[in-house]
Amino acid sequence: MLRHADVVVTARDAGHLVGVSRAVTDFSYCCYLSDLAVDIDYQRQGIGKRLIEETHAAAGETTTLILVAAPAAEAYYPRIGMQRLTSCWAIPRKR
Total-model pTM: 0.88
Which amino acid, 76?
A: Y
In Å, how far from its chain's centre is CA 5? 12
Neighbours of 49 (CB within 10 A): 16
**pLDDT for 3:** 73
**What proportion of the chain, given as a percentage, has pLDDT over 90?**
77
**pLDDT for 87:** 86
What's the CATH number for 2-79?
3.40.630.30
Question: Using alpha carbons only, how large is the chain's radius of gyration in Å?
Answer: 14
DSSP letter assigned to residue 76: H
Pairing verdict, β 7-13 and 64-66 = unpaired
